[in-house]
Amino acid sequence: MVPQFLLIVLSAASGIAYAAPADPCSAATAATWVSSEVAHACELNVPFNKTRSMSVVDSTIKALQYYSLENWFLHSPNPLIPHDVNVRALLENVQKTTATVGYKSDWDFNMAVSITDAFNKEADGHTLYSADCTEAFSWNLPFAIATLADSPFDKTAFPTFLVNYDFPNQGRSGLEAFFESIGVHVRPLDGSRVLKINGVDASTYLVDLATRSSIFDGLVGAYETVNPRYMRLMSRYSADTVAGLYTQEVGRFGQRAFYPGANSVTVTLQTKSEGIKTVTIPWAATFVGSGNDTASFISQTCLPAVDSAARKRRTLNRRMDATPMNLRRKGVVAPEAQGPVRHAASAAGLAAPGNIVQPNLKSFGHFVTLDIYQLAEHPHVGVVYFEQFEPSDGTGANDYFTGISDTLFSGLNALKAAGVTKIIVDNSGNRGGFIFAGAIALWSLWPQDLYPGFPAVFRDSDLIRRESDVAAASGLGESEYSFFFYRDLNYVLLQNNSQFMDPPVPQVVNGVKDSYSKQFLDDFGNSSAAVTNFTTPPFQGEDYVFVANSICASTCSIFSSYLFQKHGVRSAVFGGTPSSTVSQFDGGVKGSEVTDFDSIIFELDLAGLDDDPAAPQPFPVAAELTLNFRNAIPYIDKQDGILEYVFEPDTKKYQFTHDQFNQPQKIWEFVAEEFFGH
Ligand SMILES: *[C@@H]1O[C@H](CO)[C@@H](O)[C@H](O)[C@H]1NC(C)=O
Ligand SMILES: *[C@@H]1O[C@H](CO)[C@@H](O)[C@H](O)[C@H]1NC(C)=O
Ligand SMILES: *[C@@H]1O[C@H](CO)[C@@H](O)[C@H](O)[C@H]1NC(C)=O
Ligand SMILES: *[C@@H]1O[C@H](CO)[C@@H](O)[C@H](O)[C@H]1NC(C)=O
Ligand SMILES: *[C@@H]1O[C@H](CO)[C@@H](O)[C@H](O)[C@H]1NC(C)=O
């Protein structure tokens, strides 16, 4: 069968090529939407630069000493959470190629080191390299896929074709006009069952895409087991936009931050009224970088804007930030779409009633990323939706902490006064955020617990040990390696660096000699009274149930793991691969902190160790490198060593159905009935 759309698409593409200016980046940036071919030609036009690339790869290798999971990930002790990655060897191979034959283009180099297929293979969500140059376009299809069943109890579910033009708060403006202009009319196909993708059975294709999660398909790992990676491909409800608005995420099948590896996708559909149809649909791209030709694209997007004076200013700003260093620590995973895409979507700001996802329930409190409701059909059940643990709308950290605490206190008390005795905690899609915000939430629910969180360790090298000695001597508290920010396992403040980083604690991990700090706890004060007005738990462990889609990482995972491990909180997990029977309620990285390359450089400057031969140097390109910085130590299943390897299964597993996948309110009423009855 000749796929529909294909002929039209080819002629449209050649029409664009014919009219295009000679410079590929001028063509790619001249219109809001262009074909992915045109956009990718711009990426490929940036030449490989050996000097710059050698310096990038050298510094990424030197930064590995901060990466707390490096040797753990050589081989996983838990077959349910597989890792067999030697990131150092992969990077050393990239280094060898860079030094010898080189790469075809800057894009090819970035893909190799980038989120490398080296770093990407870690799939831990925290550990990522991305050059601004390779994330300068947002790549989009006019449809998304959700895996849906007729009943939440069905054993299997089926990939469904969803036209995404009208998804609320996803910034689809101009996309339909673009596809219509090139003769691609998808609206009549909405709701079709997807039978095949690129000639392969659709479920098999999608599970394989999630399993490989290859940067060459425009995907990054970010979640450790296949279920959350699969869910990230899927369209799903969330409130994860900049201003905490409810949205239906496009999902990574239909929206990617990296070139998707092909210019079109062919799907065979069981349509509602036209029988079986095969159509080929091209990818569209929109530019989110700066520059309007190759030279300006390189100077404005690919190269760092910061000269040394600007870097010093940034360092100064960091020192003068009103929030103390020990409260700024984060555990967060990168969002789906690039900042400009999310900001544009949120500027359009669609709240109820035009928004089908938005619950229509009595609110008992809303603060940036937190929503509290009482259910209508189960009025003895309340809902607390933790959409994230950090604000993206410019709210300052201290205001955020106070707001979360106050909203929880007033909201939960008001729910109790209204007769609520049970609570649903929805953590679907929560990517984490400030560790302190997670701690405030934990302490609000369990104010009598001595410490809200997990013990942790930093990785310790000779260079890091010296950084910690300088931090101890200065006593200024500008460095995360200041011993006085932490407590021992009896929750007594550390007195000196010998209780912390110096000397390092030797450890053999997967047969490799390594070293870490002693185990410590973050210091959030010695009583919950400083962060919450609750003095007794507002509800008991059995009164809570999580609603989850497995996408819960980092600070979310620490928060949720703590409720599960310490207080036996149960979970209802929705979605996952079409035939999976068990999922984690928190399927993301569980390492307790992420650091970024700028912070590593800042800490080295601070300690006067920036010229040390072991120290990474600032990148000569605009790029982000984030690394999992601390390992958390679990309370259960300690034999596997770190929290990362504790598989935390759902209590019950459900499918998303056609009539509730985009309506959290229906999901919550269903879960209330299942777990708490009438
Ligand atoms: C390659 O990068 C180096 C270091 O940033 C720079 O000095 C040089 O001009 C670049 N070469 C080309 C051909 O752009
Ligand atoms: C590109 O932008 C520069 C200013 O940044 C402007 O002078 C120039 O005319 C633009 N070129 C095109 C082709 O739009
Ligand atoms: C560090 O503090 C602990 C606890 O007060 C003390 O026992 C130990 O002797 C101190 N170590 C050094 C080297 O000062
Ligand atoms: C708790 O901390 C405060 C100061 O932050 C201190 O005054 C008090 O003695 C501490 N109490 C205990 C029991 O450690
Ligand atoms: C506790 O309540 C008081 C009075 O309403 C308020 O001023 C204070 O900020 C609250 N403390 C916390 C930690 O929320």
**Closest ligand 3 atom, residue 495 Cα:** 2
Q: Which residue has the tokens 């349509």?
A: 271
Tens digit of each residue's pLDDT (9 = 90 or more) over 611-661: 999 999 999 999 999 999 999 999 987 777 899 999 999 999 999 999 999
When mean pLDDT is compared across 47-61, 223-237, 332-346, 603-617, the lowest value belongs to 332-346
Q: Is the pLDDT of residue 285 over 50?
A: yes
Q: Is the pLDDT of residue 548 over 70?
A: yes
When mean pLDDT is compared across 219-223, 437-441, 454-458, 537-541, the lowest value belongs to 219-223
**Closest ligand 3 atom, residue 499 Cα:** 1
- Chain mean pLDDT for the chain: 91
The answer, yes or no, to whether any atom of ligand 3 lies below 6 A from the CB of 499, is yes
- Quick one: average pLDDT of 574-588? 90
- Residues above pLDDT 70, as percent of the chain: 93
pLDDT at 292: 97
The answer, yes or no, to whether any atom of ligand 1 lies below 6 A from the CB of 49, is yes
**Residue 344: pLDDT band with limits 50, 70, 90:** confident
Q: Is the pLDDT of residue 342 over 70?
A: yes
d(CA 633, CA 645): 10
Write the residue with the smallest CA distance to atom 4 of ligand 5.
533
In angstroms, what is the span from residue 403 Cα to ligand 5's centroid? 11
**Residue 234: pLDDT band with limits 50, 70, 90:** very high
Q: Is the pLDDT of residue 430 over 70?
A: yes
- Quick one: average pLDDT of 532-545? 98
- Bridge partners of 545, per DSSP, are 424, 570
**Ordered domains of the chain (ranges, CATH):** 137-239+250-287 (2.30.42.10), 337-453+527-589+644-676 (3.90.226.10)
Query: DSSP character for 142?
Result: S
The answer, yes or no, to whether any atom of ligand 3 lies below 6 A from the CB of 503, is no
**Closest ligand 5 atom, residue 529 Cα:** 13
Of the spans 4-18, 63-77, 277-291, which averages the highest pLDDT?
277-291
Mapped onto helix, strand or coil, the DSSP state of residue 508 is strand
Write the residue with the smallest CA distance to atom 14 of ligand 3.
496
Q: Is the pLDDT of residue 19 over 60?
A: no
Write the residue with the smallest CA distance to atom 10 of ligand 5.
533
pLDDT at 615: 98
Pocket test for ligand 2, best of 287, 292, 297 (most atoms within 8 A of CB): 292
pLDDT at 13: 44
Q: Is the pLDDT of residue 2 over 80?
A: no
Kindly give the pairing relationship between strand 193-197 and strand 370-374: unpaired
pLDDT at 304: 92
Q: Is the pLDDT of residue 10 over 50?
A: no
Helix (H) or strand (E) holding 9: helix 6-19
Mapped onto helix, strand or coil, the DSSP state of residue 174 is coil
The answer, yes or no, to whether any atom of ligand 3 lies below 6 A from the CB of 639, is no
The answer, yes or no, to whether any atom of ligand 3 lies below 6 A from the CB of 156, is no
Q: Is the pLDDT of residue 678 over 90?
A: no
pLDDT at 311: 64
Which ligand is closest in space to the CA of residue 528?
A: 5
CB distance 162 to 143 below 8 Å? yes
**Closest ligand 3 atom, residue 496 Cα:** 1
In angstroms, what is the span from residue 566 Cα to ligand 2's centroid? 59
Q: Is the pLDDT of residue 662 over 70?
A: yes
Q: Where are the alpha helices (DSSP H) in 182-333?
A: 202-212, 226-233, 294-297, 308-320
Q: Is the pLDDT of residue 382 over 90?
A: yes
The answer, yes or no, to whether any atom of ligand 2 lies below 6 A from the CB of 292, is yes
Write the residue with the smallest CA distance to atom 3 of ligand 3.
495
| Residue of 195, 220, 311 whose CA lies nearest to 578 | 195
Q: Is the pLDDT of residue 350 over 50?
A: yes
Which ligand is closest in space to the CA of residue 490?
A: 4
**Closest ligand 2 atom, residue 292 Cα:** 1
Query: DSSP character for 273?
Result: S
**Closest ligand 5 atom, residue 531 Cα:** 13
- Quick one: average pLDDT of 123-135? 87
pLDDT at 300: 96
**Residue 120: pLDDT band with limits 50, 70, 90:** low
Q: Counting beta carbons within 10 angstroms of the beta carbon of residue 21, is it exposed (0 to 12), middle (13 to 18) or buried (19 or more)?
A: exposed
Three-point CA angle 182, 188, 190, nearest 5°: 105
Tens digit of each residue's pLDDT (9 = 90 or more) over 463-498: 999 999 999 999 999 999 999 999 999 999 999 999
Query: Is the pLDDT higher at 589 or at 65?
Result: 65
Which ligand is closest in space to the CA of residue 529?
A: 5
Mapped onto helix, strand or coil, the DSSP state of residue 384 is strand
Q: Is the pLDDT of residue 15 over 60?
A: no
Q: Is the pLDDT of residue 84 over 70?
A: yes
| Residue of 341, 429, 343 whose CA lies nearest to 388 | 429
CB distance 248 to 170 below 8 Å? yes
pLDDT at 307: 64
| Residue 222: CA count within 13 A, CB half-sphere | 28
CB distance 55 to 620 below 8 Å? yes
In angstroms, what is the span from residue 621 Cα to ligand 1's centroid? 11
- Residues above pLDDT 90, as percent of the chain: 77
pLDDT at 334: 83
In angstroms, what is the span from residue 246 Cα to ligand 4's centroid? 42
The two structure tokens encoding residue 188: 């009549």
Q: Is the pLDDT of residue 503 over 90?
A: yes
